[in-house]
Amino acid sequence: MEMVAQRAQMGKASLYHYFPTKQSLFLEMLKQSNDKLARAVNHAISNKPENKSPNIALILNAAIEAFREQRTLLGLFLALHAGGTKYLKSLVGEQILADIQGVHQPIMEHLSCLLGPNSEKVKPIIISFLLGLAIRVIHGSDKDAAQEVEVFTEMLQDISKRSS
């Protein structure tokens, strides 16, 4: 808590006034990270170029940028999509877990609409790609991230066309 207070340029007592426990501080950080991801994806979808429907690349790029800016998001995303819901619930509580799932659900719904009838088969591939790329972005090896997203998106579109 002392390091956090120093970074926030406030006294430790002031920090404890707002966050009585380490867990309350952690939960607030999770909530803010989660909200940031939701805003990034919604912004990407609502600010798409005219005459273009939202596409998978917009969603993936927004999520990757959010991961780049805040590493906590990647941990949330990993825990949620790696089947760690029970563990995550024990860590953050039922309400925060519901908030996290509330952000991820619209993202998954957008993906389902874009992918059509094969969405349930393809979503795990998208999640795996996103997690792998996000981890590389965090480690600074992301010079080709935008190009990889485009190639991956084209591949998904080809898969969707073939199975329609």
- Domain range annotation of the chain: 23-163
Q: For 80-127, how does the pLDDT look when each residue is reduced to its tens digit (9 = 90+)? A: 666 566 766 776 677 777 776 776 677 777 777 777 777 777 778 887
The reported pTM is: 0.62
CA angle 71, 67, 49 (to 5 degrees): 160
Q: Please, what CATH class does the domain formed by 23-163 belong to? A: mainly alpha
**Amino acid occupying residue 21:** T
The Cα–Cα gap between 15 and 4 comes to 8
